[in-house]
Structure 1
Amino acid sequence: MNTEELLDYDDVGDALREGRSLRPARGYRFLLAQGDLNFLSRQVSDPVPLGRQLLEAGALDPQDGYSLFAILPSGDFEDVRLNEPFDLREHGAERFVAFLTDRDFKLTLNDDELRWGKPVISGAVLYSLAKPGEGEGVFLEVPGGEDRQIEHGELIDLAEPGIERFITAPKRPPTFEIIVNSRPRTVNDDTVTFEQIVHLAFPGQHEPNVVFSMTYRHAASTPHAGELGAGGSVDVKKKGTVFNVTRTVQS
């Protein structure tokens, strides 16, 4: 492929979600946050940049003493050394966090006080520390509200005011928030069927001459958007998969 045929950029996150390799391009986009969860899109020209080049792409000076971590799909943190190459094609990491701090951040886990050296902690780390039993999960206590179940790949900001308190407790049945004909709906499985969505859109019995058609977008499965027919199914995201269902009466 010659220079004229190169893409302007390829997105690391898109490649991961689509299960493909990075394409030859003039630039490669990734997400970078500085000490929080405010991830911004950044770009490097090399798919195997040095750690310092990832920082510089975010207008951060490596000489200021930053530590850089890649967040793996599992939620684990991988140390990115500033003077060593990091292959964006192989590590499966889209998100990076740069820390400039010598603080310890306090949290409690089942009433035990812990100190964590970064202002962000992942669900994977919490599960590793808590070692919940079978059927248990890790929850963030919400004073005056419902405790929030933490997912393995989730990131929690410890820099918010107060001390975050985590506990282990029996898991709740999973829920998935979808949109059907502009109305929010909740399902308990990550796979939904054509017939299930029709029932959510138009509850009740239907005459034999009624025909339904359906489109979807932002799905977890591939393709992420398209048409769904009778007997078909699609995998939905934890939140945000959209369905549009139309009803036609045939004469």
Structure 2
Amino acid sequence: MNTEELLDYDDLGDALREGRALRPARGYRFLLAQGDLNFQSRLVSDPVPLGRQLLEAAALDPRDGYSLVAILPSGDFEDVRLNEPFDLRERGAERFIAFQTDRDFKLTLNDDELRWGKPVISGTILYGLAKPDDGEGVFLEVPGGEDRLVEHGELIDLTQPGIERFITARLTFEIIVNSRPRTVNARMVTFEQIVQLAFPGQHEPNVVFSMTYRHAASTPHAGELGAGGTVNVKKKGTVFNVTRTVQS
């Protein structure tokens, strides 16, 4: 591809979602936030920029004491050294956060007080610190409300007033099966599991089940589920309808 055929820019997020390599372009678009989760689109001309070039793309002066982290697809943080190259083609990172602070942020995890050197923390890191047992999740305590399940890939802002408190607890998901409330202990449910909730016990070989669902957490949020299939349910409110047919 010659210079005239270069794209104006390629987007790191698009490349990640489409599972492809970055295309030759005059610029590469990424997301950068300054000390919070307010990500803005930025452009850099080199697919292997120095860390300081990523800052400069956001009109930030590296001499002002900034540190920079990349948020990997796993939710882990990777420190980006300002004077070393960071290969956008290999890391799979779309989002970056620049910090200008030496403050520690307090949080509690199962009543143990922790100090974190960045104003945001990822669900992946919280799960790594908490090491919940099978069937457990990490929850953010909500005073006066329902504790919120923390997802592995999400980012949580620690700059809000007060101390964020996290706990590990048993996972429970409230679903509706054939108009009856049921509880399951995992986000992912199987076709066979829902059949047993609808029609418990053994079934003759000539009995066939069909199933529809709606208000699911996974995409698509509604549809049909077949034998061997799975779907991710919401914390509360995913609905299943199961029909039993006896074939002659």
Shift, 1:56, TM fit: 0.5
Shift, 1:196, TM fit: 3.0
RMSD: 3.0
Distance in 1 between residues matched to 2:189 and 2:123, nearest whole Å: 20
Shift, 1:191, TM fit: 10
Alignment of 1:111-190 (within 5 A): 111-173=111-173
Shift, 1:237, TM fit: 11
Say whether 1:196 aligns with 2:212.
yes
Please name the residue that 1:79 is paired with: 79
Please name the residue that 1:102 is paired with: 102
53 and 190 in structure 1: CA distance in 2 versus 1, 3 angstrom threshold: farther
Shift, 1:131, TM fit: 1.1
Please name the residue that 1:178 is paired with: none
Please name the residue that 2:28 is paired with: 28
The AA in structure 1 aligned to 2:94 is E
- Percent identity between matched residues is 77
Shift, 1:128, TM fit: 1.1
Please name the residue that 1:5 is paired with: 5
Shift, 1:189, TM fit: 5.5
TM-score, length of structure 2 as denominator length: 0.72
Alignment of 1:58-77 (within 5 A): 58-77=58-77
Shift, 1:220, TM fit: 5.8
Say which one has the larger Rg.
2
Distance in 2 between residues matched to 1:138 and 1:60, nearest whole Å: 35
Shift, 1:49, TM fit: 0.5
Which consecutive residues of structure 1, in runs of 5 or more, have no partner in the other structure? 176-187, 202-218, 222-227, 239-251
229 and 156 in structure 1: CA distance in 2 versus 1, 3 angstrom threshold: closer
Shift, 1:134, TM fit: 1.1
TM-score, length of structure 1 as denominator length: 0.72
Which consecutive residues of structure 2, in runs of 5 or more, have no partner in the other structure? 176-186, 192-210, 235-248
Please name the residue that 1:38 is paired with: 38
**Aligned residue pairs, count:** 199
Shift, 1:172, TM fit: 3.0
The AA in structure 2 aligned to 1:81 is R
The AA in structure 1 aligned to 2:142 is V
Distance in 2 between residues matched to 1:147 and 1:75, nearest whole Å: 21
Please name the residue that 1:55 is paired with: 55
